[in-house]
Amino acid sequence: MYRGALGFCSAKRPATLEPGVYEAFGAYRTCDISDALYGAHTMRGIRAVVPAVSRLVGPAITLSLPGSGFEMIGAAMAQAQPGDVLVITTCGAVDAAYWGGFMTATARGLGIAGLVIDGAVRDLDEIQAAGFPVFSRAVATGMAVNEGAWGQINMPIACGGISVSAGDVVVADEHGVVAIPSAWAERVLVDIGRFVADEGEGGMPTSFDLQKKMLDLGMAAFEAEPA
């Protein structure tokens, strides 16, 4: 891990999973993944800005931007490998865009698979023309003012209401975004496969079944707590 000036921190990019893992996740809708996990690891309020360009699967490169440090976005891109997904939080700022046409062209040229940002973007026409998948919380007209190198790369972040770590498997489509911890990826694939198979046989659990299962899990955890 590298620590530079105040507010700057960067960890190494984690190892990538086997390509077959990402291909397997790409066969499923985010709706199916979310349902199989009872809604866990599902982002809230993050949607495709160009619905026609909305399929995305790959490992996460994370970036936290407490200020509008565009140098940090460039530094995160420099760590990324082809097929990686940039996952950015702007720490609640949505009144100005942190991403636009120029960054889209740069990321696409580097082979980055797409962007998920809990923040605002702009230049939707250029994003669409580039065929670059972008998922964001908001769209804004003005660009954020560059405040220098402030932020953290490849550290755990909160994006769309869930925790995302570098290397997590990001799956996004027209329905939304999920991010699966890399250590659980293969087990989750098994669970999703079973869920989809049950759904195909008419065995999909109802909303009541899902709620009861979650309640049972919660009660079991509560009862396991020492008095």
pLDDT, one tens digit per residue, over 115-140 is 999 999 999 999 999 999 999 999 99
- The answer on pLDDT for 169 being more than 80 is yes
Q: So what's the pLDDT on residue 132? A: 97
Residue 139 lies in a domain: yes
Q: So what's the pLDDT on residue 8? A: 73
Lowest mean pLDDT, pick from 48-62, 74-88, 164-178, 189-203: 189-203
Tell me the average pLDDT across 185-214: 71
Of 96, 121, 119, nearest to 107 by C-alpha is: 121
Q: Which run of H or of E encompasses 188?
A: helix 185-200
Residue 150 lies in a domain: yes
Tell me the average pLDDT across 149-165: 93
Domain span at residue 118? Answer: 17-224
pTM of the model: 0.85
* CATH of residue 73: 3.50.30.40
Residue 121 lies in a domain: yes
Residue 12 lies in a domain: no
Residue 3 lies in a domain: no
Residue 45 lies in a domain: yes
Q: How many domains does the chain have?
A: 1
Q: So what's the pLDDT on residue 107? A: 98
The encoded tokens of residue 26 equal 């790409």
Task: Report whether 84 contacts 58 (CB < 8 A).
Answer: yes
Map residue 71 onto helix, strand or coil. helix
Distance CA 144, CA 175 (A): 28
Number of neighbouring beta carbons within 10 Å of residue 176: 22
Map residue 113 onto helix, strand or coil. coil
Give backbone dihedrals phi and psi of 139, rounded to 5 degrees, phi first.
-120, 135
Question: What confidence category does residue 207 fall into, taking pLDDT thresholds of 50, 70 and 90?
Answer: very low
Residue 203 lies in a domain: yes
- The answer on pLDDT for 215 being more than 90 is no
Tell me the average pLDDT across 99-111: 97
Residue 11 lies in a domain: no
Q: So what's the pLDDT on residue 170? A: 99
